[in-house]
Structure 1
Amino acid sequence: MAFLSELQGHLDSLGAHVGRDFELDELPGLLRCVDSEAALSFLSTAAAVHNGVENLMAVGAGVLAERSTRDQGHSGVAAVHGHSTPVALIQSITGGTKADAARAVRVGQALLDGEPPVSSEADTTEALPVAVPWHQPLRAAMLGGRITPAQHDAIRRGLGEPQVSAGRVSDDAAREVWACAAEQLLAEIDGMPVEELLRRARQVRDALDPVGAEERFQRRYDGRSFRRWTDEDGVRRGSIAFDDEGAAWVDAMIDAALRPRRGGPRFVDSDAAAAADALLKDPRTNDQIAYDLMLDVWRAGSLASASDVFGARQPGVRMVVVKDAIGPRDAFGRMVATGHFEDGGDAIPGSVIDRTLCTLGAQEIVVDRAGNPLKLGREQRLYSARQRIALAVRDGGCMFPGCCVPASYCEAHHCDHWEEHEGRTDVDRGILLCRFHHMLLHNNGWRITREKLGPFMLHPPPGRGDPVALKTKSAIAWAWDPPPPLERRG
């Protein structure tokens, strides 16, 4: 079906969801009168219309930007209409934010990249061949209606441009690897929020480009700062620009203090349960608790015991690195590798991993081809601390579609129930779920199954749809399902 015909079909079906055609000011009342399934269908159809219109706008923005380049000066389309940039022109047309207009221009320009202009019948000039850009898979997916402009922009910006390590691979090989990464991200996109998709794309980029990851880390480290000032009302204020490792430590400290309020694991000892109950009853806001915590840390410094400040759970930061991916050292003696924080998966460069190995050591986990390590059988019901680390490495966080809860907030779910199915406490039969989705499974008729080492399958309650294959959120999943190595693609 042609694009406009399909879009018209969506528009026509909107009235069917509420029973008739309508004026916009009638819609709130009409929609409140239908059942929840009809309201969901209405919103899904409206989203399809919105995404289709965004595609149209992106292509139009790209063409206008192409006709408003700096070398065209005041004869460019934007300048002719009184705007200094194509982004300003698009914003004046849409009435949206500058960020939305800039995204429309970026995506539109990417769609035109590698697309030859349409020649008129009178033009007899032979068209020159146009190189296929590395982001062609994104272009095809968006123009095919499989992804939105926001998803296209997240992957394109997150991956950045292909980088070539000196003397290792050719430009063509690097572009091929980046195209492969784009296809991999397209396969993971279902149910993933755009913010998480952008983060995931950055993680993939850092895994492909460990030298660049070191440079990006160093820029953020050089930009670290702590500023204090007094505002006009006499309130003392502060602003912190974190480096990556420092931010991870602060996150770990605050998460340790607030985890019971944010849906942390329920399976804790009696002392921890009592402390969690007291925290839930604490009249302070989360921001006030975080403030008091940081002041306690600054006051106590290295003299306080962890339990005095944080309660039952001591904060910590785990760095995960694939042992076989560690390469040679650079000219400064730094390890050429990229690791990832256990929670969130953000990249850390080899120099930080090297220092951490020197001061703290490491715990090695050996996995099979599906990422599964330790087994405990039926002698132990709860997953061990080391198994939970292994689950965090393999799953990357809550595995429920669209959920971004990090691994340290998750609980280990037995796919085979301990009593009903005589389930085993083995990693290949366990999966990480946040507290909400774990309770959803046990209370609302959802199930997760797995055939041998195949994908984990999520089964909705009867009548709610077909089973869905769950996808890992781990930033290092490529380690057990790897793409061809960069060196072999030249």
Structure 2
Amino acid sequence: MAFFSDLAQHLEVLRDAFGGDVEAEHLPALVERLGDESVVAALEAATGLVRAGEKVRIAAAGVAAARSTREAGHDGLAQKLGHRSPASLIQEITGATRAEAAKHVRLGEALRAAAVIEPDDDAVADAATAADTEGAGSTVVPLPEPWHAPLGRALLAGIIGSAQHDAILRGLGNPPAPADAAPDDADGDADGDADAVAEAREAWSVAAEHLIVEAQERTVEELGRTARTVRDQLDPEGAQRRFDDQFDERAFRLWRDADGVRRGSIVFDDLGGAWAQTILDSALRPRRGGPRFVDPDEKARADELIADPRSNDQLAYDLFLDVLRAGALADAATVFGTRQAGVRVLVTRAAADADASGEPAVALVEDDQTSIPAWLVRQQVCDTGTVPCTLDTTGSPLDVGREARLFTPRQRIALAARDGGCRWRGCDRPASYCEAHHIDEWVRDSGRTDIDRGVLLCRWHHTELHHGGWRITRQGRGDFVLHPPPGRGTPIVLAPRLALRYAWADLDPPPRRFRRVA
């Protein structure tokens, strides 16, 4: 649909909802009178208008930035209006924060770089004359399309919003530059560098397309994490450098403020941050909507924690002091109860073999698919050991059917490796916060607790499914499909997390595993 026709359609929906033109001051009261379906329709129409306006604002921000370069000096667009930068100009016009204004400039520049601008007749004639001047057979070679061009097209088509565009763009970053590659000889390898650049651009472009599809299933925060993980899987050498940089930046500081209150600040590396997070999650999960407990002792401890008058922040503070006091000699059950904290890491056989042969490779933290170097897994194995889990190329574990009501700990590990967290569309709860749901009703005499017939759901969505009339089905090892209650929409395919699909090589076509030219 044409741009302004789309705007008109959204406006018509709002006019119908409110019965014509209204005063802005009456909007809250008018919305209050709408039925549930009308409220949702108005919200969708208003969002469509905002997204449409944002497209214009982003495009204009890109052009304003191009006309406000340092080279332009005081004759630049922003400078002529009394601003040092285009971001400052946009911040004044829009009333946005500095970070939001910078985001608009960043997206506008990316959109402008990927835009296809039709040349006019004079430009075509000038290009032809230049080619003739250079000699017979010369041609004008257009610049290659930037890798992020699919993001710009998806934004303009309304498939993704600006926040999703920015999460993917920043998460993937730019492909490695040829300067990062080691040449074959002292003279370098220009052809190798050119091939590497082309391969990297293609890999990043394919990843962007996959993430555009993923954006329909994930929150913006999870989309950004997924983009970073995919980037690290495409560029394991870069992942190693980023891990080293973050490790070098690790820091802990204590100080007193002006009132004499002692305060602290911690900058974590990836593994240290995951360890601290799992300590909090293990101890506070019942307060944060974690799984319900079946074991009587565990349930009693969870009920006691829920009734505790302390806030979550106070509980976290007391917990970390307990951990510091207890140190290495602590009895885990004293601090954590029956759920001891620990970071579980997923590493494929291919990544382990690559690491063993000295090649760069990455592994994934189970709960949020953060990537870490595979060599760090070897270090952890010395202390914690491994749990082997055989999966096919789609990440589906082998059947281990049991005539038991509950999934075993090893089955839950397999479910976490396959699902990565709650499979409900739009939910980003990690695997440690999830319960295993039987998609077939379990019957003591004939039921099976197979991982192929189980799926991870967070506590809230598990309860919603059982009490809200939803159900999940699956044909063989196909997709899990969520069926809403009658009259509330069409079935929804519950797509697996993209980061895990990259790990299990279940992509069609599969992405190129980018390696720098040696």
Tell me the residue number matched to 2:83.
83
What secondary structure does 1:125 align onto? helix
Question: Which of 397, 404, 412 is the matching residue for 2:436?
Answer: 412
Residue 369 of structure 1 corresponds to which residue in structure 2?
393
Residue 301, structure 1, aligned to residue 314, structure 2: no
2:28 maps to what in 1?
28
Distance 1:309 1:420 in 2: 36
In structure 2, distance between residues paired with 1:107 and 1:474: 23
1:310-343, CA deviations, whole angstroms, 9 ceiling, x for partnerless residues?
112110001111111346459xx96621111111
Deviations 1:429-471 (A, max 9, x none): 1110000000111001001000111110010100001001001
- Retained in 2: the 8 A contact 1:414–1:423? no
| Local SS of the residue matching 1:240 | strand
| AA aligned opposite 2:52 | G
The 1-side partners of 2:445 and 2:396 are apart by 21
Give the secondary structure class of the aligned counterpart of 1:175.
helix
1:255 to 264, 268, 281: 281
Aligned-partner Cα distance in 2 for 1:174–1:219: 22
Residue of structure 2 in register with 1:56 after alignment: 56
Q: Does 1:106 align with 2:106?
A: yes
Query: 1:69 maps to which residue?
Result: 69
Alignment partner, residue 387 of structure 1: 411
Counterpart position of 1:178: 204
Shift in CA distance, 337/187, structure 1 to aligned 2, threshold 3 Å: same
Q: Distance in 2 between matches of 1:234 and 1:283?
A: 27
Q: Which amino acid aligns with 2:34?
A: V
Instruction: Give, as a single letter, the amino acid of the residue that structure 1 aligns with 2:259.
Output: D
1:440 maps onto 2:453 in alignment: no
Distance (Å, rounded) in 2 between the aligned partners of 1:104 and 1:121: 32
Please state how far the C-alpha of 1:115 moved relative to its aligned partner.
3.3
* 2:427 corresponding residue in structure 1: 403
Separation of aligned partners in 1, 2:398 and 2:316? 36
Greater relative contact order, per chain length (Cα 8 Å cut-off, separation 6+): 2
Is the alpha carbon distance of 1:440 and 1:382 closer, same or farther for their aligned partners in structure 2, counting shifts above 3 Å?
same
Q: Distance in 2 between matches of 1:244 and 1:489?
A: 24
Q: Which amino acid aligns with 2:19?
A: G
Equivalent residues in 2 for 1:136-175, closer than 5 Å: 136-163=149-176, 166=182, 170-175=196-201
1:486 aligned counterpart, secondary structure? coil
Does the 8 Å CA contact 1:334/1:351 hold for their aligned counterparts? Answer: no
Conservation of the 8 A alpha-carbon contact between 1:115 and 1:130: no
Aligned to 2:12: 12
Query: 2:513 is matched with which residue?
Result: 486
CA distance in 2 between partners of 1:190 and 1:14 (Å): 24
CA distance in 1, matches of 2:11, 2:446: 52
* Greater CA drift, 364-373 or 175-184: 364-373
Q: Partner amino acid for 1:486?
A: R
Instruction: Give the Å deviation of 1:353.
Output: 1.6
The yes-or-no answer on 1:425 pairing with 2:449 is yes
Q: SS where residue 388 of structure 1 aligns?
A: helix
Amino acid at match of 1:187: V
CA deviation vs aligned residue, 1:339-365 (integer Å, no higher than 9, x gap): 111111111112312211333332221
- In structure 2, the CA distance between the partners of 1:280 and 1:51, relative to structure 1 (3 Å rule), is same
Q: 1:324 to 1:278 in 2, by over 3 A?
A: same
Note the 1:342-353 alignment, pairs <5 A: 342-353=366-377
Partners in 1 of 2:481 and 2:384 — Cα distance?
Answer: 38
In structure 2, the gaps of 5 or more residues are 129-139, 184-191
Give TM-score scaled by structure 1 length. 0.95
Deviation at 1:370, TM superposition (A): 3.0
Identity of aligned residues (%): 50
1:119, distance to aligned residue in structure 2 (A): 4.4
| Partner SS, residue 202 of structure 1 | helix
Mean CA deviation greater in 358-367 or 80-89? 358-367
Counting only pairs closer than 5 Å after superposition, residues 190-339 of structure 1 correspond to structure 2 as: 190-326=216-352, 328=354, 336-339=360-363
Give SS of 1:475's match: helix
User: For 1:270-317, what per-residue CA distance to the aligned partner results, in whole angstroms no more than 9, with x for missing partners?
Assistant: 000010011111111111111111111111111211011111211000
Asked if the contact 1:7–1:49 (Cα under 8 Å) also holds between the matched residues in 2, the reply is yes
Structure 1 Cα separation of the partners of residues 480 and 446 of structure 2: 18
Cα pair distance change 1:265/1:27, threshold 3 Å: same
Most deviating of 232-241 and 414-423? 414-423
Aligned to 2:188: none
For the 8 Å contact 1:214–1:350, the answer to whether it is kept is: no
- The offset of 1:149, in angstroms, is 1.6
Equivalent position SS for 2:127: coil
Q: Alignment partner of 2:499: what SS?
A: coil
Q: Deviations over 1:107-159 (max 9, x none)?
A: 11111114355545555422852321111211211121211121111111110
